[in-house]
Amino acid sequence: METQEKEVKGSVQSAENPGLTAPADWQPVIIGILCNWCSYAGSDLTGTSRIQYPPNIRIIRVPCSSRVDPWFIIKSLQATADGVLISGCHPGDCHYIAGNYYARRRFLVIKNLLNFVGYHENRVQFSWVSAAEGAKFAQVVAKVTDDIKKLGPLHRYKKENF
Amino acid sequence: MARVGVFVCFCGANIADFVDVPAVVEEVKKIREVKYAVYYKYMCSDPGQQIIKDAIAQYRLTSVVVAACSPRMHEKTFRRAVSEAGLNPYLLEIANIREHSSWVHQKNKKAATEKAGDLIRMAVAKSIANEQLHEISVPVTKRALVIGGGIAGIQAALDIADAHIPVVLVERSPSIGGRMAQLDETFPTLDCSQCILTPKMVDVASHPYIELIPYSEVIGLEGYVGNYKAKIKKKASYVNFSLCTGCGACTQKCPVKVPNEFNMGIDKRKAIYTPFPQAVPNKPVIDAEHCNMLLKGKCGICSKVCEKGAIDYTMKDEVIEREIGAVVVATGYDLWDPKPYEEYGVGRFKDVITSLEFERMVSASGPTGGLPIRPSDGKVPKTVVFIKCIGSRDEAKGIEYCSKICCMYTAKHAILLHHKVHDSRAYVFYMDVRAAGKGYEEFVKRAQVETGTTYLRGRVSKIYKMGDKLMVRGEDAQLGQVVEIEADMVVLATAIIPYKTNPALARLLGISYDKYGYLSEAHPKLRPVETAKAGIFLAGCTQAPKDIPDTVAQASACAAKVCGIFSGDALKKDPMISVVNPDYCSGCQNCVQVCPYQAITTEEIPITRGSKETRTVAKINEGVCQGCGSCAAVCRSMAISLKGFTDSQIINEIVSI
């Protein structure tokens, strides 16, 4: 019993599956899917301004947040990611007139679905970052990384895990 | 199998200082598809690009990954380099290891190196699924449609036509000229409006490249940039323009009198009329709502006096079609109805008039022969109070915005009053004097100093009648006192509002409009004349309140944009747009609903090859599609893919981490 407790102390526990733990220095993998015109440009500005943020995020560029198929989110969680961040233009600023509104509605549905199947609501997050908000992008990434670190490793819903 | 080349850039020290580039290259070489990986100090330099070109030939690469700065920076540079080496430019992928790794993880070289490796791995995985893409070429019909024949439409039409491009100019009223034709003199130079406008109107009528269609409205627009088809309704004028000589006998003899819109109802016109003497075309039309012959079948005087037999009471509205490549919308403005200002006696006191009514009075060709008179008794006013911001900047009764031109035309009216009635006295109640523009502040000063106009900062609370005078009670906020002025006439500077049919027109054209009804530009700063729909442009007050110089400048900008579209025989378009695989399409039409550009329609295709039975599938118009990918995300059967960002490309990226 004692040894078991020790193990738990020095490790991170998964929010969804208490039996799943990782070492204390565990680093989550986060996939960020950003729209080309606002958020991707914003993340570039973060770089140009040399604002530092946690290195866990891997960024994928898409033309518009409305391009994000819920499948991409599910696939990310199934493959490697412990968390997903989707970011688009501010409401009203969409380069493609209204794409971010579609994304927002679609995202609410997928979020409810993921909650229903047992994922913590912070696993998948959504934000609006404009091309001028380099500092905000760094804040968003820091917050998401922090949230995911607290949630611990993701229990992957794969056949072999049941 | 794919053969990928990876080219990692040091970017001087920008990447190399924070990412262990040689280690990354060694790591990348382990990927199965990577046949060649190398680093260099500056990949974007000529020798750097040469390394890429040489490697493409030497290692027979099928795709290229450049790990360097953001694709927003040098994607074009590297695409060109790749295509110069004979590879399709869209087989290039960029791994953004500078903005997304070295610059943002400067304190953690290990993590930055690891991340750079991941980003390259993702780009390699994506590039494996890249397809050859080719720029789309869309044919162009070199003819422009200009909607609205005010100064904006006239200027745009003339500028486009002067570039030898045919223009169809559609005007809803019987004559072009618009609001500017109603003005007497223009600020800040007091140029006679008619004198500078009418030559342009005549130019429009006689220009070999302009087809002027007056008394007509655009009722339909189909297609996309370069390939629009416009439906134009020619309203029945009941006058055969090709026979009419414009002699004016009919308008003299017509017995029906109706308020004259051109003169703001101050005088009367006939049921058969030309709006004003300098009208272009100078041909009369019959107002079907008031003509006795058309309403009751009795009269026919105009037909009897017309020597040419040009009157045709059986004429019907006619719909014509024109194929065009671009549209300039210049529908102009209307004036806000000041009825809510009951405390000013609007509607009760005849001598409380609007600025445009005053403008018509002081116009030399106007209904009063250029002299302002009191509508109540016909006397010439000696004391006139001008009140600005009627409806403008008034959230309670009117609209929130500033109408921009009222400060200037009120100053002009004060000067004109002085010119016409030398012993007159003008008072102006104002909230602010906004005179930003070349020579504008000086012009306001001129009104104050030269003509002795008294500017009072404050609002008028009430206007009441005392004898035949109007008592204007207001506040002089600078003195902190209530003032009362005994006036002969009060002129209200009413706000500019968009023309009432703007929302309907916007829906018809497929462009957006704001909460007031102004048509929306694509970007308020950097794309002020374009709309979100390619090939449709905005000029003048249809977009926002403007003065004449701004309107003319915007109209010429529209013309430049239109000429740009027509500069080649075909339009080149980015190939990263959506395509439908009809084999997979179930015809659910989810995509049709989400497309922000109405680029998706449906078509019927045979169920099997040669079959007579058909089924419905989605069809994407590649001229209209902008490549946002909304449709690809909602497609249940995965029949739609967005070229350059296909499902397999993105999934490859996700699973490669």
- % of chain B surpassing 70 pLDDT: 100
CA angle B127, B130, B135 (to 5 degrees): 130
- Report ipTM for this prediction: 0.93
In a domain, A64, yes or no: yes
CB contact under 8 A, B101 and A98: no
Residue B567, min C-alpha distance to chain A (Å):
26
Say whether B334-497 and B144-332+499-565 share the same fold. Answer: yes
Count the domains in chain A: 1
B122–A96 CB contact, under 8 Å: no
The arithmetic mean of pLDDT across residues B102-117, rounded, is 96
Give the pTM.
0.77
pLDDT-derived band at B143 (thresholds 50, 70, 90) equals very high
Q: For position B222, what pLDDT does the model report? A: 87
Per-residue pLDDT at B504 exceeds 90: yes
Examine the pLDDT at A150 and tell me if it is beyond 80: yes
CA of A88, closest CA in chain B: separation in Å?
Answer: 12
Token pair for B136: 């789309």
Q: What's the pLDDT tens digit per position in B558-587?
A: 999 999 999 988 988 889 999 999 999 999
Question: In this complex, do B628 and A63 lie within 8 Å of one another by their Cβ atoms?
Answer: yes
Judge whether A17 lies within some domain: no
The burial of A13, by beta-carbon neighbours within 10 Å (0-12 exposed, 13-18 middle, 19 or more buried), is given as middle
Q: What is the mean pLDDT of the segment spanning A56-67?
A: 96
Q: How far is A17 from chain B (nearest CA, A)?
A: 23
Report DSSP state, residue B62: S
Which amino acid does the sequence have at B574? D
Q: Residue A4 — pLDDT band, cuts 50, 70, 90?
A: very low
Give B513's DSSP letter: B
Q: What is the mean pLDDT of residues B406-428?
A: 96
Q: Which residues of B touch A62 (CB under 8 A)?
A: 629, 645, 650
Q: Is A60 on the interface with B (CB under 8 A)?
A: yes
* Domain-located, residue A102: yes
Shortest CB distance from B630 goes to which of A48, A76, A99? Answer: A99
Report pLDDT digits (tens) over B151-197.
Answer: 999 999 999 999 999 999 999 999 999 999 999 999 999 999 999 99
A159 at the B interface (CB within 8 A)? no
Q: What is the pLDDT of residue A9?
A: 56
| CATH number of A111's domain | 3.40.50
- Residue A3 reports pLDDT greater than 50: no
Residue type present at position B431: M
Which of chain B's residues have a Cβ under 8 Å away from the Cβ of A81?
654, 657
Q: B5 Cβ partners below 8 Å, 6+ apart?
A: B34, B35, B36, B37, B52, B55, B56, B59, B61, B63, B64, B65
Residues of B in contact with A58 (CB under 8 A): 115, 118-119, 122, 657
Instruction: With respect to residue A9, please indicate whether it lies within any of the assigned structural domains.
Output: no
B309: contact with A, CB 8 A cutoff: no
In this structure, which CATH number among 3.30.70.20, 3.90.650.10, 3.90.226.10, 1.10.3720.10 belongs to the domain B578-656? 3.30.70.20
B654 and A95 in contact by Cβ < 8 A?
no
Q: Work out the pLDDT band at B138, boundaries 50, 70, 90.
A: confident
Q: Is the pLDDT of residue B148 over 50?
A: yes
Six token digits for residue B316: 């019907």
Cβ of B633 within 8 Å of Cβ of A68? The answer is yes
Give B346's pLDDT tier (boundaries 50, 70, 90): very high
Crossing angle for the helix pair A70-79 and B647-656, nearest 10 degrees? 20
A26, A33, A57, A58: best to mutate for the B interface, most B CBs within 10 A: A58
Residues contacting residue B40 through CB under 8 Å, at least 6 positions apart: B7, B8, B9, B10, B47, B48, B51
pLDDT average, residue stretch B616-623:
92
**Subunit contact B657:A31, Cβ cutoff 8 A:** yes
Report chain B residues whose CB lies below 8 A from the CB of A96: 596-597, 626, 628, 630
CA distance B59 to B57: 6
What kind of fold does domain B144-332+499-565 have according to CATH? FAD/NAD(P)-binding domain (3.50.50)
Strand bridging mode B536-538 / B326-329: parallel
Q: What Cα–Cα distance (Å) separates residue B143 from each residue in B169, B229, B234, B328, B567?
A: 11, 11, 19, 11, 12
Band the pLDDT of A161: cuts 50, 70, 90: low
Chain A CB within 8 Å of residue B119 CB:
yes
DSSP element (H, E) containing B329: strand B326-329
- The whole-number average pLDDT for the span A54-83 is 95
Residues A65 and A86 sit within 8 Å (Cβ to Cβ): yes
Residues B229-249: what's their mean pLDDT?
94
Question: So where are chain B's domains?
Answer: 4-128, 144-332+499-565, 334-497, 578-656
Using a CB–CB cutoff of 8 Å, tell me whether A55 touches chain B: yes
Residue B370: is its pLDDT beyond 70?
yes
Percent above pLDDT 90 for chain B: 91
The string of pLDDT tens digits covering residues B314-328 is 999 999 999 999 999
- As a CATH number, domain B4-128 is 3.40.50
Range of the domain at A46: 26-154
Calculate the average pLDDT of chain B: 95
Domain membership of residue A16 (yes or no) is no
Tell me if A145 sits within 8 A of A82, measured CB to CB: no
> Are the beta carbons of A66 and B594 separated by less than 8 Å?
yes
For B513, which residue in chain A has the nearest alpha carbon?
A: A97
- Segment B296-313 mean pLDDT: 93
Residue B363 pLDDT more than 70? yes
Digit-coded pLDDT (tens) for A17-26: 888 888 988 9
CATH code for the structural domain at B334-497: 3.50.50.60
Q: Is B76's pLDDT higher than 70?
A: yes
Q: Locate B269 and state its tokens.
A: 């016109």
As beta bridge partners, residue B273 has B285
Distance, in Å, from the CA atom of B472 to the CA atom of B462, rounded to the nearest integer, reads 6
B523 band by pLDDT with thresholds 50, 70 and 90: confident
Dihedral of the CA atoms A139, A145, A150, A155 (nearest 10)? 150
